[in-house]
């Protein structure tokens, strides 16, 4: 993209050409939007009941304590008016400068003009004062229970983030500067990016976070050598090729979440958890889940346990000749691993020697931020969508998780792509983030209703494969890794679930950072540390207060724990055996399949 030299005359020919391109792109945009699926109101916003509760609480507050409400309003009016007077005074003095700016630093407003230019500074200060006044008013509401208060606070913040002046061309100095410097070419390129994204998503707007052409699964990511040694309708089981002459007897089987793809653990060799485990001298199996379409509508949690978890454990045992495996579950797969362990305990099956849980919730009494989407107004809408389509489209899951970090995963990327006209970065983690999967209709509803809403595993009311199970039935030695700033599986909630498990041998590791970066944290970089403690697992806060902080990755700490529970060393095993022919190279076929719409 060419840029204009400051103060040079405009290139009218180029400007007119860009205007013509905008007209053509506008026609494509109209055609793309026309393909948008019929909206389901229940999936677009909270139900009316929440708004009614919030409005009712505010009016009750106004009637019962009018002085308090007026004080809040007068304070806000006074601040807004004072700032207006200060801005006018600065202009009247003939100086092109902004008044004093006491507002807090906010990375959205990094451009120096937000501080120095009177127009942009006035807009920024008024926006931040408006946001502060609204959040204060919501915080002072009485008459709402904790759950409703959390939802009102969350969705109000979503509105505030949406209305930030950075999100609009006329009030974004970065976008305006670049548009002038490029004779509008940046805006044309931004419109092209917008049209591309809407066309690619059949009328829905999903911001492309990473360059889709920069990565190839099995080409330059997900490249750790291995073979698919078993396949059924739900899984491909990958056995990785050894890199050491000797390996531990007991193999590891990793169950990744099926709401995303397994290669988050195998992006590049230098940050691949899969490669690291193999290099430590373990025989490693990893499950790659089928990306379902409508033909999987009746596949439920029972199927995921029987055809996923139990099948993978059975085949790994058969291939290695061992009686037990060490199982690992990540996120929703950790939750389901808990169900599987409880089921095996009921059946008297000792196939699992130890269990490891990555960022796993099993007690949903406090699911954290994601809980705002778990009330009936949303779940009813999800159920209706599942019944209509036969599956829950990855679009809905991706959008939900993106809104938990809206400025990072929606508005920030949208500004760069649509207003600045920038190409998406070649960033492997964001490429993976955009490569989501669908969920079978029955499984999605069983998980949301029975585990998330009813908290059935913690309460001992959830039935899996004909057995009613509880956390007390999880008896095997276990290690749980939670992440300190996890917005999907809050660490204290993860701790609460592990605390209730029936195992006598429990190890809890708290990693710094979030749901992904906290887990994919290889040794050597030392960007994030971790906490461990031999103290009792009672109150989460007390546990952390007494924990020891370690510099660097938690992987070696877990590796030592696993090594003690993996038996003696034996000759390294090549993938497969006579009964398990090699079906294809890792990463397999399921990970790249595109299901039927």
- The residues carrying an active-site annotation are 331
Three-state secondary structure of 5-36: CCCCCCCHHHHHHHHHHHHHHHHHHHHHHCCC
Residues linked to residue 325 through DSSP beta bridges, in sequence order? 352
φ and ψ of 236, to 5 deg: -110, 130
CA dist 364 and 456 (Å) reads 9
* 381 vs 445: CA distance, rounded Å: 11
359 exposure class (CB count in 10 Å sphere: 0-12, 13-18, 19+): buried
| Burial (0-12, 13-18, 19+ Cβ within 10 Å), 525 | exposed
- Distance between CA 117 and CA 359 in Å, rounded? 45
Cα 186 from Cα 18, distance rounded (Å): 10
Give dist(CA 236, CA 315) in Å, integer: 11
Helices 146-162 and 118-139, axial angle in degrees (round to 10): 170
Whether 187 and 8 have beta carbons less than 8 Å apart is answered as no
R_g of the chain, CA atoms, integer Å? 27
**H-type alpha helices, 65-145:** 66-92, 113-116, 118-139
Between the CA atoms of 162, 168, 172 and 174, what dihedral angle is there, to the nearest 10 degrees? Answer: 100
Question: Can you give the three-state secondary structure of 437-494, one letter per residue?
Answer: CCEEHHHHHHHHHHHHHCCHHHHCCEEECCEEECHHHCCCCEEEEEECCCCCCCHHHH
Q: Token digits for 417?
A: 């792509």
Q: Is 456 exposed, middle or buried (0-12, 13-18, 19+ CB in 10 A)?
A: buried
């Amino acid at each position: 993209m060419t840029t204009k030299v400051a103060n040079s005359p405009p290139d009218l020919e180029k400007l007119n050409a860009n205007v013509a391109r905008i007209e053509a792109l506008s026609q494509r945009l109209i055609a793309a939007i026309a393909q948008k699926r019929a909206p389901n109101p229940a999936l677009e916003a909270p139900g009316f009941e929440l708004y009614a509760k919030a409005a009712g609480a505010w009016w009750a507050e106004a009637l019962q304590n009018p002085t308090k409400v007026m004080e809040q309003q007068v304070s806000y009016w006074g601040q807004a008016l004072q700032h207006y007077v200060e801005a006018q005074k600065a202009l009247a003095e003939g100086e092109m400068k902004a008044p004093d700016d006491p507002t807090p630093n906010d990375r959205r407003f990094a451009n120096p003009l937000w501080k120095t230019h009177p127009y942009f500074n006035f807009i920024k200060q008024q926006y931040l004062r408006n946001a502060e006044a609204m959040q204060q008013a919501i915080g002072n509401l009485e008459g709402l229970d904790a759950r409703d208060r959390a939802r009102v606070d969350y969705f109000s913040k979503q509105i505030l983030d949406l209305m930030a002046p950075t999100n609009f061309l006329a009030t974004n100095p970065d976008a305006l500067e670049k548009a002038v410097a490029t004779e509008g070419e940046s805006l044309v390129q931004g419109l092209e990016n917008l049209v591309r994204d809407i066309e690619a998503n059949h009328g829905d707007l999903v911001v492309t976070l990473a360059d889709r052409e920069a990565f190839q699964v099995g080409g330059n990511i997900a490249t750790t050598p291995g073979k698919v040694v078993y396949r059924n309708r739900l899984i491909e089981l990958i056995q990785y090729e050894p890199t050491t002459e000797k390996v531990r007897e007991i193999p590891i089987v990793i169950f990744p979440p099926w709401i995303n793809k397994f290669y988050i653990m195998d992006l590049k060799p230098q940050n691949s958890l899969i490669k690291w485990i193999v290099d430590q001298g373990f025989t490693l199996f990893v499950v790659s889940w089928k990306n379902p379409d409508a033909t999987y509508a009746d596949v439920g949690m029972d199927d995921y346990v029987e055809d996923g978890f139990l099948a993978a454990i059975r085949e790994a045992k058969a291939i290695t000749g061992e009686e037990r495996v060490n199982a690992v579950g990540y996120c929703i797969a950790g939750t389901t691993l808990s169900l599987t362990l409880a089921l095996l305990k009921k059946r008297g099956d000792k196939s699992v020697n130890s269990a490891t849980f990555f960022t796993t919730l099993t007690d949903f009494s406090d699911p954290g931020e994601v809980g705002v989407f778990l009330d009936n107004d949303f779940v009813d809408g999800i159920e209706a969508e599942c019944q209509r389509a036969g599956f829950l489209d990855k679009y809905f899951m991706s959008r939900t998780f993106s809104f938990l970090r809206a400025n990072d995963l929606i508005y920030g990327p949208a500004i760069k792509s649509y207003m600045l006209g920038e190409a998406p970065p070649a960033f492997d983690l964001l490429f993976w983030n955009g490569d989501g999967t669908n969920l079978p209709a029955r499984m999605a509803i069983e998980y949301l209703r029975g585990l998330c809403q009813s908290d059935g595993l913690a309460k001992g009311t959830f039935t899996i494969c004909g057995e009613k199970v509880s956390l007390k039935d999880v008896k095997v030695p276990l290690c749980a890794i939670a992440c300190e700033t996890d917005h999907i599986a809050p660490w204290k909630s993860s701790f609460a679930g592990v605390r209730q498990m029936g195992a006598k041998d429990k190890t809890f590791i708290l990693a710094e950072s979030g749901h992904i970066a906290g887990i994919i944290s290889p040794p050597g970089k030392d960007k994030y540390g971790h906490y461990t403690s031999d103290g009792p697992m009672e109150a989460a806060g007390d546990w952390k207060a007494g924990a020891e902080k370690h510099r660097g990755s938690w992987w070696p700490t877990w590796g030592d724990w696993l090594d003690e529970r993996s038996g003696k060393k034996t000759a390294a095993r090549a993938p497969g055996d006579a009964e398990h022919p090699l079906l294809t190279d890792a990463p397999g076929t399921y990970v790249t399949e595109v299901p039927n719409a």
